[in-house]
Structure 1
Amino acid sequence: MKQSMERIKTGANIVIKSWMRLKPWENLLIVTSNQYIKEAQLLKQCAAKRGARADLMIVERTGKQVGVFFDEQEDIFRGYKAIIGATDYSIVTTKAAKKAIERGSKFLSLPLLTGDGRSLLGYRFLQMDTKKSKMMAQVIMSYLDEGSTIDVRTSAGTSLKFYTRNRSAGFFNGVVKDGGGYSSASIEAYVPIEETMTKGTMVVDGSLGYIGGVKEAVQVELAAGRITQIADNEDGQRLQAYIEQYTDEGMYVASELGIGLNSYAKCRGSSYIEDESAYGTFHIGFGRNLALGGVHQASGHFDIVGRDPDIYVDNRMIMERGKIIVPEPQVY
């Protein structure tokens, strides 16, 4: 599907004006790679229209290991009041991003990787009403924060149990102010789960995250917080090979439960950010979760996506087949 330049410019303007809410006195750093120079220049132009200075940082170490560089260079964002991570992969969970956020800088994770040749800035899901997504997130978060166990089940065969004691839920809707200084293009509610506790079976029938959609559902077994087995079909082999490329056992650790809240998004394997944002999906994040409020360090972070979940918090249903429901009050 061909995109018009006007649609891509609209996306760039949403990022700078609505999500970053960039002020004239806020200097912006756009972290990108040569592959996304066109998008980075558009973002820079939108910043200039608001009277703000924007610099580009072209990262040489691209791909899934880009996060390692930003772990090693913790102070690289010093001096900037606003940062956009516009590379292939998310860098919001890195030490450099965490330190910038702690200093009071704005940080937006805007991974631009797509699998269909289109610019992410031209995707329609960026136009989701941020007030509506915030309201949806707050409903879910109120239950996540009250509970300590979460059960996720699907008709495809998923049956998972997560534990969230002493963990706080959060949400992304693109707007950095709503996220307390940082956000992501992935519009979702999330909770950093206890890293040694997750158990059960996930049937991945939505997306394999960075590596695209699934042709055949992949069964993933988890115990004591880790992946213990991946189905030996074509997509399962792709997932196994992807994780092994990190050469880091910490990448098998389940560290996040996310719930997609973007009714404009579709889970079709073209953009992993769109996939995990799609309303009616859930995802498990594996690997590093420090910036989400967890305690697990690893060389990266990736997500796998399932469809139409029934979700229970302390045995109270909050979602049915991917749709938010309001539970009846408990009577004591």
Structure 2
Amino acid sequence: MINLHLVDRAKSVLIQNLSLKPTESLLIVTDDEKVDIAELFYQAGSLISNNIALMRMPTRNKSGEEPTDLVHLLMKQAHAVLCITEHSLTHTQARKDASALGARVATMPGITLDMLEHGAIAADYHEVQTLTKHYCQLLENGSTVTIKKDDTELTFSIKDRPSISSTGVFTEKGQSGNIPSGESYIAPIENSANGQILIDGSISNIGVLSEPVLLTIESGRLVDASGNQGQDLLSLLGDGDGRTIAEFGIGTNKKARLTGNVLEDEKVYGTVHIAFGSNKSFGGITEAGVHIDCVIKDPHVWIDCQKI
């Protein structure tokens, strides 16, 4: 039986985030794991447009694995594409080809019914856009960031690096990204970070932390991480460029919760995150084959001399 409340929530996403019009075509791509959620969006899309299709494929084995050839072909035909899958299609050639032809593509890897009803996806996206723009302007004009958490302090340079706005709202041809979203982020100068910082929220691929992890960073490189989960982090990053600081982000979604799912965790308002590994795709110089986010709850943050 279809949950009409969740269909209404899905319809709000299609209108608010994808700006779907009655005259446009919508392709919903799903897999064996997420078909129940995709059905909700199919019902919602049918209330907006008659030109809608739901395409189910076998579940991919990992994020970044290409969809089936038929899905790839259909993605290039639609005005808007919504990927409701277990693993992310964000960085696939199929997504890139669809975007290049003008499709608005939103990806929702790992989305759950709980996230649809209660989490970041239910945000006021006008508010998310306003907050994200505000913090992006501060990052864009800033030179030095200082983060303090308890007795720890980390500083790094962001001078002349572009800020990135991630709002989860796609209204123009070719735009793509995650839903839900809500963050302002930037690639720090890779060798500029020095100090220690306490991570007390979550770490991607590890989840919500059982105890805080103390990170020690020297000249932009993570040289130590405390505890068993800190050792897990070091293992994920490897011994090479994966340990280079890659990102500083500010959560701008007041509905997001700390759940252990990085798609939602890094969007939580009142948190910031730093990441290690690859950042070449958003203004940095590192290609490491890994990108791991570390979320800090309730930090004190300065950009230059302004406490934000």
- Shorter-chain TM range is 0.7 to 0.9
For 1:292, give the aligned amino acid.
F
Asked if residue 220 in structure 1 is aligned to residue 243 in structure 2, the reply is no
Distance 2:95 2:241 in 1: 20
String of CA shifts for 1:117-136, please: whole Å, max 9, x gaps: x5422224322211112212
Long gaps (5+) in structure 2: none
Unaligned stretches of 5+ residues in structure 1 = 319-332
The Cα of 1:283 is off from its aligned counterpart by: 0.9
Q: Which residue matches 1:201? A: 196
2:201 maps to 1:211: no
* Residue 273 of structure 2 is aligned to residue 283 of structure 1: yes
Give me the TM-score of the superposition, normalised by structure 1: 0.77
Q: Is the 8 A contact 1:206 1:268 kept in 2?
A: no
- Residue equivalent to 1:58: 57
Q: CA offsets, 1:206-236, max 9 Å, x none?
A: 11134321110011223343322221x2322
In 2, the alpha carbon distance for the partners of 1:186 and 1:156 equals 30
User: Aligned equivalents of 2:276 and 2:14: distance in 1?
Assistant: 29
For this pair of structures, how many residues does the alignment match? Answer: 300
- Partners of 1:58 and 1:307 in 2: how far apart? 38
Counterpart contact for 1:44–1:55, Cα < 8 Å: yes
Question: How many angstroms apart in 2 are the aligned matches of 1:111 and 1:17?
Answer: 19
Contact 1:9 1:121 in 2 (8 A): no
Q: How does 1:1-332 map to 2 (within 5 A)?
A: 5-51=3-49, 52-56=51-55, 58=57, 60-63=59-62, 66-67=63-64, 69=66, 77-92=75-90, 97-98=95-96, 100-112=98-110, 118-155=113-150, 157=152, 159-177=153-171, 181-184=175-178, 185-231=180-226, 233-243=227-237, 249-269=240-260, 271-318=261-308
Asked if the contact 2:116–2:122 (Cα under 8 Å) also holds between the matched residues in 1, the reply is: no
| Contact persistence 2:190–2:220 (CA under 8 A) | yes
Are the aligned partners of 2:143 and 2:303 in contact in 1 as well (CA < 8 Å)? Answer: yes
Any conservation in 1 of the 2:222–2:245 contact (CA below 8 Å)?
yes
Give the TM-score of the pair, scaled to structure 2: 0.82
Residue 281 (structure 1) shift: 0.4
Alpha-carbon spacing, 1:285–1:80, altered in 2? closer, same or farther (3 Å): farther
- Residue 147 of structure 1: how far off its partner (Å): 1.5
Kindly provide the amino acid, as one letter, of the partner of residue 156 in structure 2: F
- Counterpart contact for 1:8–1:121, Cα < 8 Å: yes
Q: Conserved in 2, the CA contact under 8 Å of 1:89 and 1:113?
A: no
Could you say what the CA RMSD is over the residues aligned between the two structures, in angstroms?
Answer: 3.1
Amino acid paired to 1:305: V
Q: Deviations over 1:158-214 (max 9, x none)?
A: x22233233221222321138982343121111233344333323110111343211
The range that moved more, 120-129 or 170-179, is 170-179
AA aligned to 1:123 is H
Taking the aligned partners of 1:230 and 1:102, their CA distance within structure 2 comes to: 41
Q: Aligned residue for 1:321?
A: none
* Mapped partners of 2:157, 2:79: distance in 1: 35
Distance 1:98 1:237, change over 3 A: same
Between 202-211 and 218-227, the greater mean CA deviation after superposition: 218-227
AA matched with 2:175: G
User: CA-to-partner distance for each residue in 1:93-143, whole Å, 9 max, x for gaps?
Assistant: 5565455445433122322256xxx54222243222111122122221221
Task: State the Cα distance separating 1:84 from its structure 2 match.
Answer: 2.9
Counterpart AA for 1:49: L
